[in-house]
Amino acid sequence: MTRLRLSRSFAFAFLPLLVACSEKIDASRLPTNQQFVMSNNLICTIVAASDQKEVGKKVVLIGLTTAQPKVKYESGVTSPMQKVFESESTLTIQLVASATGSVDTYVIAKKNGHFSRAVAGSLAGVYSSAAVGTCK
What domains can you pick out in the chain, each with its CATH number?
2-135 (2.40.160)
What pLDDT sits at residue 34? 84
What pLDDT sits at residue 32? 84
User: At 15, is the secondary structure helix, strand, or coil?
Assistant: helix
Q: 92-122: per-residue pLDDT in tens? A: 999 999 889 999 999 999 999 999 999 999 8
Q: 13-53: per-residue pLDDT in tens? A: 333 444 444 457 878 888 888 899 999 999 999 999 999 99
Instruction: Tell me the CA distances in angstroms from 97 to 59, 82, 91, 101, 136, one per residue in order.
Output: 18, 11, 20, 5, 27
Q: What is the pTM of this model?
A: 0.81
